[in-house]
Amino acid sequence: MKSRIGILTGGGDVQPLNAVIRAVVETANRNNIEVVGYAYGWQGLLENKFTILNDHIIDPLLGGTILKSSRVNLAKVEYGAERVIKNLAEQKVDGLIVIGGEDTLSNALYLKNIPQVLISKTIDNDVGIINTDSVVNYFTLGYPSAGEKISSFVSINEGLRTTAYSHERIIVVESMGMHAGWLALSSAMGHPDFIIIPEFPLDYKVFLEMVSEKYHRQKNIIIVLAEGARWADGSYISADHNEVDSFGHPRFKGAANLLADKMKKDLANKFDTRNVNSVNPSYLYRSGKPNELDLFAASELGREAIGLFKANLDKPVFLTMKYLNNKFVPESYPIIDVLNIEELHRFVTDRFYDHRLLTATDEGMKYLGKIIRELPKVCYGL
């Protein structure tokens, strides 16, 4: 059995990170396993910045990560993987728990001989596989909490719909999601009028007609726009290619504002467009405490991770959440043959999204309904 396990968090923070760290440490300590917490993700492993974790100092209801975070691509660091392996050996760390999104988890693939448990966390919900009859990793940590927030932000009983109705506004709400539109799609549980995601480029001319027709009939519109959404020619609505990170991603910002400004000009001949506005909740999606499902999943995954090491795990595995018999349970998925993290990168397809109506399909709503509470759809005189 392993006696010393390392743990790190990388990439953007999400609400249940401390909850999963707490579950790992609490379970490990009960089994005489010491947990080494690496600060600043993979950067901490490269620089040997770590502390021995005590579960009494970790509040599972506190959002963010006590270990802090960074975005490091080991492939871009000279002898990056070799340095990590050397430092783990020097600290007598028997295995590693890696908690992150696709970029953070991709580094684990350079360490195939190190026993590792990979736990996905990202409000983008884009790490996992959806087959015809099954879902590998039903959701990523943080997605339930963020999905609940965006649904609330656009809803009539808790969000922007009331001011849209009262002042006959068109409001474009920006969602995170550089390449996958899962977070934007989750807003369907709050019933916006249109959802625009990166996987399906926007036919702007058709979209304008849809907005104009619905506005004349309804007198208010809520549009959810993913930050990585694209025009019909494939170009991003708003991306700064001068600020590229170590994984090659441009900086996405201001898509909602850009679209709102464009709509103001292009719809001015149809109605008064002074009340076309944009809102970007930005980091609010990932901030705050975890909701009930995220807290449950974090605890289950943390305990199961230590269980795998107790059973003498000798190779990397992806620890997922599976929906089985009307409940969520942790399940390990082998990744020894996974050559590239993109094999675990999932996108929204027309199974879940209707690109003609710009909203979730019935199957999309069914999928979301197992994760996020659907808010009431109230006519409110519409």
Q: Is residue 124 flagged as an active site residue?
A: yes
φ/ψ (deg, to 5) at 378:
-105, 135
What is the biggest distance separating any 2 CA atoms in the chain, rounded to whole angstroms?
Answer: 72
Q: Which of 13, 94, 103, 124 is catalytic?
A: 124
Neighbour-count burial for 343-367, b at 16+ CB within 10 Å, e otherwise: ebbbbbeeebbebeebbbbeebbeb
Residues 104, 109, 110, 115, CA torsion sign: positive
CB-based contact 301:331 (threshold 8 Å): no
CB-based contact 150:175 (threshold 8 Å): yes
Separation CA 294–CA 300 (nearest Å): 10
Separation CA 220–CA 229 (nearest Å): 22
CB-based contact 229:203 (threshold 8 Å): no
Q: Which two tokens stand for residue 153?
A: 């932000």
End-to-end alpha-carbon separation of the chain, Å? Answer: 63
Nearest to 50 by CA among 78, 1, 107, 88: 88
Single-letter amino acid code for the residue at 292: E
Kindly list the catalytic residues: 124
